[in-house]
A and B are shown apart, each in its own frame.
Chain A
Amino acid sequence: MADTLTRADVERIATLARLELTPDEVTLFAGQLTAILAYADQVQQVDTSAIEVAPAAAAGHPAARDDEPAPCLDRDTVLSQAPSADRTAGLFTVPRVLGS
């Protein structure tokens, strides 16, 4: 297992999670995440050979339903929640995606 998470590991994970971390947070998390994962490593000691597949959620109830249209929030209501939107065009607006 990963014995020690380096600052580079922490930065790589933060990129995957789209989290901006301060240099202090990178240092703090390298230590704390290493400790938490070392603690969680106890699960490796358990014999799970009798468990064939990873179980899904705890509920045993079928979650399937017919795929039928049903009322939902209207577009104006949804757009009114957005930090930035063009209600006339019916769009969320965001900063530029491509180019500099």
Chain B
Amino acid sequence: MSLPRTACEIRAAVAGREVSAVEVCRDALDRIARADPKLHAFLHVDERGALARAAQLDRQPPAAAPPLLGVPVALKDNICTASMPTTAGSRLLEEYVPPYSAAVVERLAQAGAVIVGKTNCDEFAMGSSTEHSAFGPSRNPWDLDRIPGGSSGGSAVAVAAGMVPLSLGSETGGSIRQPAALCGVTGLKPTYGRVSRYGLIAFGSSLDQIGPFAGSARDMAALFGVIAGRDARDATSAPDAVPDYTAGLTGDIGGLRVGVPRALLDEGVEPGVAAAFAAALRELAQAGAVVTDIDLPHASLAIPVYYLVANAEASSNLARYDGVRYGTRADASSLTEMYYRTRARFGAEVKRRIMIGTFVLSAGYYDAYYVKAQQVRALIRKDYDAAFANVDVVAVPTSPTVAFRLGARTADPIQMYLSDVFTAAANLAGVPAISVPCGLSEGLPVGLQLTARPFDEATLLRAADVMERRIVMPRPDAGSI
């Protein structure tokens, strides 16, 4: 018999004893072993730990089947795991094994999931292609010469290539949605505060958020219901009740008001992406949504604001990598020299961002850059508040282009940053946003991005589910198994 592939099918089959968690786990490990040599989605595969965990699940009484029973899940390598290395794609944390696991890891364990390994990402989640990983880039399963997007590129690839049905990534400015779009899977950036960051390696603390990748909104709803919710160990985590996201997938978006910020789309959207986006809007309308034009006057400033705010926070957060308490240490004859030489191991992009952040926080520049950026950020947030008075979701393409070729943007940091021109605003405003596949351009996936009011992920999942029913995506050729 063929083994179940989606998270919901796996859970039902394992709960019904039609298949064992060990069989499902072996299948995922086999897929990883076959596909990963060419895709490099994983930095670490915990074959022994995953099989032991699956066997343990198979021994448990079948009475209460938790929501992810026997489901293989991959984690971005900036999410701490006490039983596996956690490198964040950096030489500074090479072979680092944390002394504790992230809150989301505990929740996955309680939900019966089987964590199979850790996925590749740009170093400390800084990048849009995985090319800034210290351990080499991941490849896009639709075209191995192209990047998968980033920074959570490995997690997107692992789902897109069919290695695992679910994975977790993290976002500071588009790092889940952009790779989801470029790899043809669904990716969600939750509301700021919706998912505990306890055990997430910090990058930009006013922006960081963990979120899921899945092959469908239904699988994503199951995973998101597990990871969402209050955690006292993350002071920013929100007490708001977690709805039943699966029950919210009614297939009905009749009357949903969809706003399109037309002025934002004037520049830089590839014709093929624009065409797929237009087709997606027609599908939304045919499904009963009401599509209107709106204005987000400050959203075009999201990238400059983002790179001032995020880098300022990064320069502060990454000060902890000094070679004293954990991670690697460079040989040196004095403490100061040790700091400099240890931190010389950061890759070029991380150094660039620490430098920018240090500069904008330094005396004489703080008000002009950092404070000014925070003020413009407040205006970006107000734009969304105003928009959501009239519409329920805002629709834009997730990425202005399809996946670009490896090396195409590494020499020009600003071009790389512009990959997130449509995603960074949601992080700055703290609102939830989803990328759902909406067709192909030049044979490569295009993502539709929908943004909603704070804590209204249920609407995003419902709309994504409707889109998936209407636009059936093919499987990637190059890297799938």
Are the chains A and B members of one assembly?
yes
What residues of chain A have their CB less than 8 Å away from a CB belonging to chain B? 1-2, 5, 10, 13-14, 16-21, 25, 28-29, 32-33, 35-37, 39-44, 46, 48, 51, 54-59, 61, 63, 65, 73, 77-78, 80-84, 92, 94-97
- B304-A32 in contact (CB<8A): no
What B residues does A94 contact at CB under 8 A? 324, 335, 338
- Given known contacts A61-B236, A92-B325, A96-B334, what 5 new A-B pairs fall within 8 Å (CB)? A17-B315, A18-B339, A39-B304, A55-B375, A65-B235
User: Given A39-B304, A94-B338, are A51 and B379 neighbors across the interface (CB < 8 Å)?
Assistant: yes
Bound Cα distance from A96 to B333, whole angstroms: 7
Choose one: A10, A43, A83, A96; the contact of B335 (CB below 8 Å). Answer: A96
| CB within 8 Å for A20 and B375 given contacts A58-B430, A59-B236, A81-B325 | no
Contacts of A51 in B (CB 8 A): 375, 378-379
Q: Which residues of A contact B336 (CB under 8 A)?
A: 18
Q: Which residues of B contact A20 (CB under 8 A)?
A: 340-341, 343-344
A32 touches B352 (CB 8 A): yes
B359 part of interface (Cβ distance < 8 Å): yes
Contact B325 A55 (CB under 8 A): no
Interface residues of B in 415-464 (CB under 8 A from A): 428-430
A18-B322, A40-B308, A43-B372 known; A29-B352 Cβ under 8 A: yes
- State the Cβ distance, B190 to closest chain A Cβ, in Å: 12
Do A13 and B352 touch (CB < 8 A)?
Answer: no
Contacts of A25 in B (CB 8 A): 348, 351
Task: Pick the interface stretch among B5-13, B210-218, B361-369.
Answer: B361-369
Q: Please give, as numbers and ranges, the residues of chain B lying within 8 Å of A21 by CB-CB distance.
A: 344, 351
Q: Report the nearest B residue to A44, measured CB to CB.
A: B372
B329 CB within 8 Å of chain A? yes
- Could you tell me the distance between the alpha carbons of A52 and B386 in the complex, rounded to whole angstroms? 19
